[in-house]
């Protein structure tokens, strides 16, 4: 097994974990809301892309439609339901799970069990003795780019500054004139958009079924659990670490042990770093 | 007999040293008040004494036994009662249930009921027994919490700003209650800002500044010390403020 | 004995006094008569509903009393079921070894729950992280078991069977002089009713005991509980082991009811079901008991139209219930009809969390 293909495999796995998790981490880190409907938002991103593509739009435009659909759905969700659940993680778990169920089953009822799939673009290339889909490189690049984009948004823009203030101390933020409700609304929209991006990007690689959100949600949760709510100090190292473990184990022992090793890593990290990597890596915590 | 002692007690948070090489000795039956400007580390010391924060270095001895590594619940079971700065009670339970839960580790059956009723009378909360704890006034909550702290039958009582937010009348009543508990032999260590209260109850006072021991002595010595006054007013070396 | 019985009523359980207990007795008698007179299909369906109540009661204890929202009930359900299936398949029905399989399964679930709980609680995990970790565990187990389709996946003579699960195993068989007695059909129903009634009463006693008070203290204010001498981590662990073991009991009951077990019972939808039942009914033991059966009957009725519609309806019920009636619909109804106030039993919405990042 040559190094180059291992590195590529690692990159793909980490990218998948990262993209799945980033939207969830933003919402969780900001609002203490655990959004179990995250998988369904990803699914809507994929469905939006598929539907637009099959109506003749070029792939890139179709993806933008997918992101748009997911974002819109997220904003509606926030305005009607999520708004009442801020700071209540247990209830948000329960309610968002129900929403996810309604959305996935509703999609099944309305659009049937599957949609025609989209062919993977960019063809393949040969590395050593194996051929790989060139699209994988796009996915890896996209995952890194989206993380950097969100990080830039949070750290270097005015919105980001207001968002971080609201996250750390909502009452004081409100007292200095920041509109909490507006920040929450836009942050949830951001998280939903990121979910949409994930769905849109992975649409050409998967079968389009209403329950496809399920394939992402485990990975997303596992990454957020390990990483904690912070993006740079949590989600990124978690995705990389877990991706590394999964790749190494898969290469050595096969697919199943790769997945199992991932899950064992999560359980161990729960015992060793129960509040997530971010808590420990950021170094700014007060006991 | 030394009831409580700290040796070279240190607590760091990342780059900040909140408590630095603190040496404290409190005799059994003494009422000691810890005072000092904001940021002096007083609450941090109390949290370490109570077992809710681990020292970075140094030792805490209770009745000559090193308890530095022992968890908070061990300390509670062996006679250390704690009252936190922000009243830490069971808000969604009734006053009576609060006390029942506090006492039922040690008492059962009819004894438990009698003890709860007695404490309700001492705390002057008998008329509020079935109200939810969160409905009490701030002063009443402080007293309820005091009642909870006393439920472990402590020989050492640790208090973090016990009169914060209280009216002068409530403050004086709290002082009287603490003095009567002390007359039965209870050692009391209290972090305080209210100097009138300190004067009312304290046998001795320790002053902390920036995590370090600054001064110690009797109430009169400390409250009349110009060094302590300078400390509170921010003067350096006796200069006038604003110079 | 008298003092234990007196714990059947208390602050942590709804329902007290002769009117309540007489009603309960009437319901029990009705259930026993039903088992004798109704059609075998009806009795089997009733058994199916009752099988899940153990798991729901376990969650009501963990979540309602100690404040731990565990998504792991389905994982322990599955572990219990698979353990019975594997042991029973290997040892066979003779010599009462199926009874051994039953006890062993519940015991194994308890041990695993203790290990998981140790890692979580003594590692310092709290609140929503416990929920997420237990969710990850449930989903992991389902993922793992779904992949075990090939013939190399077996323990002894039992093939784990991957997505299809394990389908042939002996039912609970009681050795008797002459021919052994298989516990199926009506006999199974009566067995379940008996065990369930005993479990329900035992849980009421636990809830109102000093341990129950300890759980409430830990839920309401862990720091204050610790300062009162309660070993918070140990209390949380004990509650978790007890509640999770009950999920194992449900798992064994389910497997011995249908004589099959599969990873279906453990996916994301299944993992959230106990949460749905408890959240909609209310976390009180009796409310959960009643509500779980009602909700299962509702799902069953709706499933006739197609499971998608059933799920959508269930989802809507859940959202409406949590947003409008956070203490649970059945519990609210019980409180109104019993006009019993019990502040100690109030559902606490989690206070606003502050997440320190960035």
The alpha-carbon gap from B76 to the nearest alpha carbon of chain A, in Å, equals: 21
Angstrom distance (rounded) from CA A38 to CA A52: 21
Query: What is the rounded CA–CA span in Å between residue C83 and residue C105?
Result: 5
List the single residue in C122, C139, C355 with the smallest CB-CB distance to A29: C355
Distance CA A195, CA A72 (A): 12
Mean pLDDT of A187-211: 90
CB A164 within 8 A of CB A158: no
Both structure tokens of B139: 């002063």
What Å distances lie between residue C127 and A34, A131, B114, CA to CA? 12, 46, 36
Out of C216, C227, C343, the one facing B101 most closely (by C-beta) is C216
- Average pLDDT in the C335-350 region? 53
Residues with Cβ within 8 Å of residue A157, at least 6 apart in sequence: none
Helix (H) or strand (E) holding C159: strand C158-159
**Could you give the percent of chain A with pLDDT greater than 70?**
87
- DSSP codes, chain B: -EEEEEEEEEEEETTEEEEEEEEEEEETT-EEEEE-STTSSHHHHHHHHHTSS--SEEEEEETTEE-TTS-HHHHHHTTEEEE-SS----TTSBHHHHHHHHHTTT--HHHHHHHHHHHHHHTT-GGGTTSBGGGS-HHHHHHHHHHHHHTT--SEEEEESTTTT--HHHHHHHHHHHHHHHHTT-EEEEE---HHHHHHH-SEEEEEETTEEEEEEEHHHHHT-HHHHHHHHT-STTPPTT-
Name the residue with higher pLDDT: A84 or C61: C61
Cα gap A30→C99, rounded to integer Å: 51
Confidence of residue B91 (pLDDT cuts 50, 70, 90): very high
A86 Cβ under 8 Å from any chain C Cβ: yes
CA distance C272 to C274: 6
Interface test with B, best of C228, C234, C326, C356 (most B CBs within 10 A): C228
- State the first-to-last Cα distance of chain C, in angstroms, to the nearest integer: 57
Q: Annotate C199-238 with DSSP letters as a single string.
A: HHHHHHHHHHSHHHHHHHHHHH-HHHHHHTT--HHHHHHH
A and B: number of Cβ contacts within 8 A: 8
pLDDT at C221: 93
* B145 touches C356 (CB < 8 A): no
The number of residues making up chain B comes to: 243
- The answer to whether A223 and A147 have CB atoms below 8 angstroms apart is no
Q: What is the largest CA-CA distance in chain A?
A: 62
Instruction: Give the rounded distance of the alpha carbon of C157 from its chain centre.
Output: 29
Preferred mutation among B12, B13, B54 to probe A, highest tally of A CBs within 10 A: B13
* Residue A75 clears pLDDT 50, i.e. is over it: yes
Is B232 in the A-facing interface, judged by CB distances under 8 Å?
no
* Residue B13 in contact with partner chain A when CB distance is under 8 A: yes
CB proximity list for C164: less than 8 A, separation 6 or greater: C149, C262
Strands B156-160 and C181-182, bridge-based pairing:
unpaired
Q: Which of A91, A229, A268 sits opposite C355 (nearest CB)?
A: A229
pLDDT digits (tens, 9 = 90+) for C119-153: 888 877 777 778 878 887 887 787 777 776 666 66
Search chain C and give the residue with CA nearest A287. C356
User: Which secondary-structure segment (H or E) carries C181?
Assistant: strand C181-182
Per-residue pLDDT band for A1 (boundaries 50, 70, 90) equals low
DSSP letter string, A129-146: TEEEETHHHHHHHHHHHH
Report C:339-358 residues touching B (Cβ under 8 A): 343-344, 346, 348
User: Which of B:17-56 have CB within 8 Å of C?
Assistant: 50-52
pLDDT over 50 at C187, yes or no:
yes
- Chain C residue with minimum CA distance to B153: C228
Q: Which of A211-215, C40-44, C262-266 has the largest mean confidence?
A: C40-44
pLDDT at C347: 37
pLDDT band at A279 (very low <50, low <70, confident <90, very high): low
Stretch B66-71: mean pLDDT: 92
A92 touches A85 (CB < 8 A): yes
- Read off the tokens for B183: 């007359």
- Which chain B residues touch C11 with a CB distance below 8 Å? 97
Q: Which residues lie closer than 8 Å to A175 by C-beta, 6 or more apart? A: none
Q: Which two structure tokens, joined as six digits, stand for B150?
A: 């006393």
pLDDT band at B230 (very low <50, low <70, confident <90, very high): confident
Q: Note whether C311 contacts A105, CB cutoff 8 Å.
A: yes
Q: Quickly tell me which residue has 């194992």 as its tokens.
A: C248
In whole angstroms, how large is the CA radius of gyration of chain A?
19
**pLDDT given at position A276:** 62
Per-residue tokens: B174: 């709290």
Q: Which of A283, A284, A287 is opposite residue B53, by nearest beta carbon?
A: A287
> What is the structure's pLDDT at C325?
86
The residue among B16 and A269 whose pLDDT is bigger is B16
* Angle, CA B170 vertex, CA B168 and CA B174 arms, to 5°: 115
Mean pLDDT score, C261-277: 79
pLDDT for position C342: 45
Cβ A283–B13 below 8 Å, yes or no?
no
What average pLDDT does range B84-106 have in this prediction? Answer: 91
Chain C touching partners, 3 or more CB pairs below 8 A: A, B
Bigger pLDDT: A155 vs C254: C254
Residue C190 belongs to what H/E stretch?
helix C185-208
Contact B101, C217 (CB under 8 A): yes
What is the per-residue pLDDT across A102-121, written as a single tens digit (0 to 9) for each? Answer: 999 899 889 888 888 888 88
- Which residues, other chains included, contact B37 with Cβ-Cβ below 8 Å and sequence gap of 6+? B209, B231, B232
User: For chain C, how many residues are written?
Assistant: 358
What is the signed CA dihedral for A239, A241, A245, A246, rounded to 10 degrees? 10
Confidence of residue C264 (pLDDT cuts 50, 70, 90): confident
Complex ipTM value: 0.89
What's the DSSP call for residue A116?
P
Q: How confident is the model at residue C355 (pLDDT cuts 50, 70, 90)?
A: very low
Contacts of B38 (CB under 8 A, 6+ apart): none
Q: Is it the case that residue B243 has pLDDT exceeding 70?
A: no
Specify the DSSP element, H or E, that contains A126: strand A124-127
- Place C357 in a pLDDT band, splitting at 50, 70 and 90: very low
Is the pLDDT assigned to residue A70 strictly greater than 50?
yes
What does the longest C-alpha to C-alpha distance in chain B come to?
A: 67
What residue of A is the nearest CA neighbor of C274? A94
Residue A274, pLDDT score: 58
Residue C348 has pLDDT above 50, yes or no: no
Closest CA to C251 of C115, C53, C43: C53
Contacts of B166 (CB under 8 A, 6+ apart): B138, B139, B142, B174
Q: Are A4 and A127 in contact (CB under 8 A)?
A: yes
Q: Rounded CA gap, A80 and A276, in Å?
A: 30
Average pLDDT over residues C55-77: 93
Of A135-139, A270-274, A279-283, B72-76, the poorest mean pLDDT is in A279-283
Cβ-defined contact of C355 to A214 (cutoff 8 Å): no
Q: What is the mean pLDDT of chain C?
A: 83
Chain B: nearest CA to A141, how far in angstroms? 35
Cβ atoms C250, C123 nearer than 8 A: no
With contacts defined as CB-CB under 8 Å, which chain C residues touch A225? 129, 132-133, 136
Instruction: Please check whether residue A287 touches B, CB under 8 A.
Output: yes
Least trusted range by pLDDT, from A168-172, B10-14, B172-176, B210-214? A168-172
Cα gap A207→A214, rounded to integer Å = 12
Decide if pLDDT at C57 tops 80: yes
Taking CB atoms and an 8 Å cutoff, what residues of chain C touch A271? 118-120, 122-123, 125
Question: What is the arithmetic mean of pLDDT over B223-235?
Answer: 79
pLDDT in tens, A4-57: 778 888 888 888 888 888 888 888 877 778 788 999 999 999 999 999 998 888
B152 close contact with C: CB closer than 8 A? yes
Inter-chain residue contact C136 with A266, CB threshold 8 Å? yes
- pLDDT > 70 in chain C, percent: 89
Q: Which residues of B touch C348 (CB under 8 A)?
A: 92
Report which of residues A140 and A72 the model is more confident about.
Answer: A72
Position C340 pLDDT exceeds 60? no
Mutate to test the interface with A, among B11, B14, B18, B51 (most CBs of A within 10 A): B14
A84 φ, ψ (degrees, to nearest 5)? -90, 0
Cβ within 8 Å of residue C210, ≥6 positions away? B104, B105, B108
B34-38, C257-261, C353-357: least confidently modelled range: C353-357
In whole angstroms, what is the distance from residue B82 CA to residue B72 CA?
10
Alpha-carbon distance of A185 to C133, in angstroms, equals 27
Q: Which pLDDT band, with edges at 50, 70 and 90, does A229 fall under?
A: low
> Residue C311 contacts by C-beta under 8 Å, 6 or more apart in sequence?
A101, A102, A105, C269
Q: What is the dihedral of CA C104, C109, C111, C116, to 10 degrees?
A: 170
- Give B185-207 pLDDT, tens digit per residue: 999 999 998 888 999 999 999 99
| Percentage above 90 pLDDT, chain A | 18
Residue C353, pLDDT score? 26
Contact A218 C315 (CB under 8 A): no
CB contact under 8 Å between C144 and A263, yes or no, is yes
Average pLDDT, chain A: 82
Does residue B159 belong to the interface with chain A, where contact is any CB pair within 8 Å? Answer: no
Task: State the pLDDT confidence band at C356, using cuts at 50, 70 and 90.
Answer: very low
Residue C344, pLDDT above cutoff 60: no
């Amino acid at each position: 097994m040559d190094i180059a293909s291992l590195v590529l495999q690692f990159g793909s796995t980490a990218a998948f974990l990262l993209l799945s998790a980033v939207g969830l981490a933003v919402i969780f880190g900001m609002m203490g809301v655990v959004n179990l409907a995250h998988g369904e938002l990803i699914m809507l991103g994929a469905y939006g892309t598929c539907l637009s593509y099959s109506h003749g739009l070029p792939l890139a435009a179709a993806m933008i439609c997918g992101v748009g659909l997911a974002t819109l759905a997220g904003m509606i969700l926030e305005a009607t339901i999520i708004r009442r659940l801020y700071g209540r993680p247990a209830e948000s778990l329960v309610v968002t799970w129900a929403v996810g169920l309604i959305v996935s089953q509703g999609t099944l009822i309305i659009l049937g069990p599957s949609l025609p799939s989209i062919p993977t673009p960019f063809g393949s290339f040969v590395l050593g003795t194996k051929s790989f889909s060139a699209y994988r490189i796009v996915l890896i690049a996209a995952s890194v780019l989206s993380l950097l984009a969100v990080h830039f948004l949070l750290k270097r823009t005015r919105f980001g500054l207001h968002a971080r203030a609201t996250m750390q101390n909502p009452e004081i933020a409100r007292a200095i004139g920041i509109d909490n409700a507006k920040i929450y609304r836009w942050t949830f929209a951001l998280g939903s958009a990121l979910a949409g991006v994930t769905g849109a990007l992975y649409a050409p690689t998967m079968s389009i079924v209403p329950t496809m959100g399920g394939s992402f949600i485990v990975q997303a949760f596992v990454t957020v659990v390990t990483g904690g709510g912070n993006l740079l100090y949590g989600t990124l190292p978690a995705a990389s670490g877990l991706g590394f473990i999964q790749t190494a184990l898969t290469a050595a022992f096969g697919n199943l042990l790769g997945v199992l090793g991932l899950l064992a890593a999560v359980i161990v990290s729960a015992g060793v770093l129960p509040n997530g990597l971010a808590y420990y890596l950021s170094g700014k915590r007060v006991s | 007999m030394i009831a409580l002692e700290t040796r070279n007690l240190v607590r760091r948070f990342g780059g900040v040293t909140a408590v630095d090489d603190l040496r404290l000795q409190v005799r059994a039956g003494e009422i000691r008040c810890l005072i000092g400007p904001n940021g002096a580390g007083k609450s941090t010391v109390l949290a370490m004494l109570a077992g809710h924060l681990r020292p970075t270095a140094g030792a805490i001895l209770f009745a000559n036994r090193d308890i530095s590594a022992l968890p908070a619940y061990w300390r509670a079971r062996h006679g250390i009662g704690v009252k936190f700065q922000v009243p830490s009670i069971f808000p969604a339970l009734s006053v009576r249930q609060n006390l029942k839960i506090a006492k039922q580790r040690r008492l059962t059956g009819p004894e438990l009921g009698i003890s709860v009723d007695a404490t309700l009378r001492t705390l002057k909360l008998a008329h509020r027994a079935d109200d939810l704890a969160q409905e009490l006034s701030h002063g009443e909550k402080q007293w309820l919490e005091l009642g909870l702290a006393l439920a472990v039958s402590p020989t050492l009582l640790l208090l973090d700003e016990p009169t914060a937010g209280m009216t002068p009348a409530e403050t004086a009543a709290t002082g009287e209650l603490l003095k009567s508990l002390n007359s039965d032999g209870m050692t009391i260590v209290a972090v305080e800002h209210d100097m009138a209260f300190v004067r009312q109850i304290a046998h001795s006072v320790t002053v902390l500044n920036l995590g370090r021991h600054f001064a110690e002595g009797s109430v009169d010595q400390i409250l009349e010390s110009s060094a302590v006054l300078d400390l509170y007013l921010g003067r350096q070396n006796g200069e006038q403020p604003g110079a | 004995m008298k003092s234990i019985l007196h714990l059947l009523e208390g602050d942590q359980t709804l329902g007290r006094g002769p009117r309540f207990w007489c009603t309960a007795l009437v319901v029990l008698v009705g259930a026993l008569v039903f088992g004798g007179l109704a059609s075998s299909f009806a009795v089997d369906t009733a058994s199916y509903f009752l099988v899940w109540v153990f798991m729901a009661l376990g969650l009501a204890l963990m979540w309602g009393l100690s404040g731990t929202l565990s998504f792991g009930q389905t994982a322990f359900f599955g572990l219990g079921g698979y353990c019975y299936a594997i042991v029973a398949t290997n040892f066979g029905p003779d010599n009462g070894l199926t009874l051994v399989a039953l006890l062993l399964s519940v015991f194994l679930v308890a041990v695993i729950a203790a290990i998981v709980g140790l890692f979580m609680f003594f590692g310092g995990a709290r609140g929503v992280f416990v929920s997420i970790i237990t969710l990850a565990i449930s989903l992991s187990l389902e993922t793992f078991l779904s992949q075990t389709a090939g013939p190399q996946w077996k323990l002894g003579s039992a093939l784990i069977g991957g997505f299809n699960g394990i389908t042939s195993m002996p039912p609970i068989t009681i050795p008797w002089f002459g021919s052994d007695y298989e516990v199926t059909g009506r006999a199974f129903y009566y067995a379940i009713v008996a065990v369930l009634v005993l479990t329900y009463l035992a849980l009421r006693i636990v809830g109102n005991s000093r341990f129950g008070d300890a759980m409430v203290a830990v839920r309401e204010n862990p720091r204050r509980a610790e300062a009162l001498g309660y070993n918070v981590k140990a209390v949380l662990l004990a509650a978790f082991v007890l509640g999770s073991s009950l999920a194992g009991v449900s798992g064994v009951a389910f497997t011995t009811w249908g004589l099959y077990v599969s990873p279906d019972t453990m996916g994301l939808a299944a993992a959230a079901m106990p949460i749905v039942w408890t959240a909609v009914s209310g976390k009180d033991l009796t409310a959960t008991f009643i509500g779980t059966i009602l909700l299962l009957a509702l799902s069953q009725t709706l499933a006739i139209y197609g499971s998608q519609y059933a799920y959508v309806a269930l989802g809507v019920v859940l959202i409406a219930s949590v947003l409008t009636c956070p203490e649970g619909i059945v519990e609210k109804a019980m409180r109104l009809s019993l006009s019993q106030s019990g502040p100690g039993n109030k559902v606490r919405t989690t206070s606003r969390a502050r997440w320190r990042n960035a």
